[in-house]
Structure 1
Amino acid sequence: MTEANALFLRLEGPFQAWGDTSKFVIRRTLDAPTKSGVLGLICCAMGLSRQVARGRLSELNRLAMGVRIDRHGTRWWDYQTVGAGIGMTTAGGGLKTGAQGTLVTRREYLADASFLVALQGDAKLVHEVAEAIASPKWPVFLGRKSCPPSVPVLAKPREGESWTNPGCHDDLIAALGAVSWHPRYKADATPHNGTMEALVEWRPASGDDVAPDDAEVWYDVPVCFDPPVHEPRFILRDSISPAVGEALQGPAPAVPRPRADYTNAEYRKRREERIKADAGLCVFCKSPGPRMTVQHVTYRRAGGNERLEDLRSLCGLCHDAITMLEYGLGMGLDRINPEDPRWRERIIQKRAEILKFRSLETRRRRLAAEEVE
């Protein structure tokens, strides 16, 4: 069996935050996971404190890191209070005047982002890190403690395979391309323009190699976490066309909606009770009307389970006016209560429109009949 030389992490959650060089009260996030954040996650899974982790960082930094951006996410701001009951100190170590309260800091996050991280290096170290993440001693987070992952962090490299037998990969691009991309919905069947963005760590093959001109410098290689000290590394942006797997979420089932059954015996009984309770009059215009009916003010118990308070007696004209208003507003289960004063003017206006239309239509029919004669 070929020993694994690559480890895959799925970093996905409601919020993520991968700090850059932001200082003081405004803390921004980069557009992809940093090496410092990923190694911090690994140290947390191993149960290493900030002080103890310093002895392992040189070894963990030998792992080359690549990131595939499966979903960029949306940048989102929040705030956090710092220094409650402690006070803010000056550069000389003294207490600032009037600084016994809190300091408000702004924090930037990536909302609904998803990343695939590949770590490549010594097979023994890869195996140790994978075992730690599979059974973490401390909870792991996506950059900040307020950002828990929403899926298992340890990702499978291929369908039906575990991380213990993924095969070896020549480089990080090949490793990132070995894992299928799964759209959230079936409609998103292909990545944007058929490719996905990847950020790959560049390392010189020999001592005299020069970094490419388009290489970016990220100061995210951790030397120690307490105090935080970081060194630079080179990052190259590339594109990958991974295989497309099945959608993660199926179509949402239709919400069952109660519907009125006007032939139902219970409904007809409740209808007669409502008309009798309203003395056979329209609750809006107080007329007996040429054709008395009832109106549902809610369909939540429609289909034979209606209660007396779910119905209102209406004449034909008021019923037509209210129904037209409801359809025009796209109302759902809860409808217009004709006894509610806030609807009075709109119902009166709609009644007038219906009467005017019917009057004009009657005149047109009479004129048409005269022309035929």
Structure 2
Amino acid sequence: MSVLLLRLAGPLQSWGSSSRFARRGTEVAPTKSGVIGLLAAAKGVRRTEPLTDLLGLEFGVRLDQPGQILRDFQTARSLDGRLSAPLTYRFYLSDAAFLAAVSGESELLYGLAEALSRPQFPLYLGRRSCPPVGPISLGVHEETLDDALASWPWLAPDWYRRKAAPMVRLEIIRDARPGEPVSETVPDEPVSFDPAHRQHTWRSILRRHVDVTNERADRTDVAEHDPLSLLGG
């Protein structure tokens, strides 16, 4: 089995799965529908066109740097200033980095990796206001999705890794397979991105954790400070 690995990092990301009306939330990690949409944009698939082979991909993501949730609000006024639209609240992930993986047929994945290097449409991390930083594709690898998410080096930047322990525990969220215990179900399985009849269905997910070595940890040994030692004999 082949797997295409993706680095999803940027100043802001926003991965909504149930946003409505004046409140546009974000999940704590990239959604399957969001990543499938990113891949479709790279291939030049328009919203009104069928997603075809992309619907059969298995998806998983590792939370390498969860980031922080930020809230923004927006409003709009008429040109004459007499009318104001209601405030809308939008939530983002700031300074986050994720390792995402899609698994499927090798030919399809190599085509997606090539499309990511020369995308037909602009790529963004959930919303148009959230461009990615650096190349997205980490290449196609001949291994299982589970092995890839467990063994790939930690993607957090150096400044973040220096503050962490020599061994870190990272959360993995992936598609639950038949017969596996389901952690939860989310409305995140894309069917169509057509604006006239956008469709998603429910997706069963499994949450687990993996320990990853942090070679950039600050290992400076600092003697424990004991103020009472000054009172000793």
- How does the TM-score come out when normalised to structure 2? 0.82
> In structure 1, what is the equivalent of residue 199 of structure 2?
229
Q: CA deviation at 1:234?
A: 0.8
Q: CA deviation at 1:12?
A: 0.6
> In structure 1, what is the equivalent of residue 70 of structure 2?
76
Q: Which structure 1 segments of 5+ residues have no match?
A: 86-97, 156-162, 248-373
Q: CA deviation at 1:80?
A: 2.6
Aligned to 1:21, the other structure's residue is in SS state: coil
Whole-angstrom CA distance in 2 between matches of 1:188 and 1:143:
28
* 1:221 partner letter: E
Q: 1:59 aligned to 2:53?
A: yes
> In structure 1, what is the equivalent of residue 115 of structure 2?
132
> In structure 2, what is the equivalent of residue 106 of structure 1?
89
CA contact (8 A) 1:201 1:234 kept: yes
Q: 1:201 aligned to 2:175?
A: yes
> In structure 2, what is the equivalent of residue 188 of structure 1?
163
Q: CA deviation at 1:233?
A: 0.9
Aligned to 2:119, the other structure's residue is in SS state: coil
* 2:19 partner letter: S
Whole-angstrom CA distance in 1 between matches of 2:135 and 2:105:
23
Whole-angstrom CA distance in 2 between matches of 1:239 and 1:104:
38
Q: CA deviation at 1:48?
A: 1.8
- How does the TM-score come out when normalised to structure 1? 0.53
Q: Per-residue displacement from partner, 1:166-210 (whole Å, max 9, x unpaired)?
A: 3x223x22111231014523623547x631111011121xxxx4x
Give matches, 1:1-373, under 5 Å. Answer: 5-52=2-49, 55=50, 57-81=51-75, 101-155=84-138, 163-164=139-140, 166=141, 168-170=142-144, 172-183=145-156, 184-185=158-159, 187-188=162-163, 190=165, 194-204=168-178, 209=179, 211-212=180-181, 214-225=182-193, 226=195, 227-244=197-214
Query: Relative to structure 1, is the Cα distance of residues 63 and 74 closer, same or farther in structure 2, using a 3 angstrom cutoff?
Result: same
Q: CA deviation at 1:101?
A: 4.1
CA contact (8 A) 2:99 2:155 kept: no
Query: Relative to structure 1, is the Cα distance of residues 82 and 130 closer, same or farther in structure 2, using a 3 angstrom cutoff?
Result: farther
Q: Which structure 2 segments of 5+ residues have no match?
A: 218-233
* 2:212 partner letter: P
> In structure 1, what is the equivalent of residue 222 of structure 2?
none
Query: Relative to structure 1, is the Cα distance of residues 182 and 40 closer, same or farther in structure 2, using a 3 angstrom cutoff?
Result: closer
Aligned to 1:194, the other structure's residue is in SS state: strand
CA contact (8 A) 2:162 2:216 kept: no
CA contact (8 A) 1:6 1:126 kept: yes
Whole-angstrom CA distance in 2 between matches of 1:174 and 1:83:
51
Quick check: which one's strand share is greater?
Answer: 2
Q: Per-residue displacement from partner, 1:241-288 (whole Å, max 9, x unpaired)?
A: 2344558xxxxxxxxxxxxxxxxxxxxxxxxxxxxxxxxxxxxxxxxx
Whole-angstrom CA distance in 1 between matches of 2:168 and 2:23:
36
Q: Per-residue displacement from partner, 1:128-164 (whole Å, max 9, x unpaired)?
A: 1111111111210000000011222112xxxxxxx25
Flag the structure with more relative contact order, 1 or 2, with Cα contacts below 8 A and sequence separation at least 6.
2
* Structure of larger gyration radius: 1
- Indicate the percent of aligned positions where both proteins have the same amino acid: 38
Query: Relative to structure 1, is the Cα distance of residues 104 and 246 closer, same or farther in structure 2, using a 3 angstrom cutoff?
Result: same
CA contact (8 A) 1:182 1:246 kept: no
> In structure 2, what is the equivalent of residue 318 of structure 1?
none
Q: CA deviation at 1:103?
A: 3.2
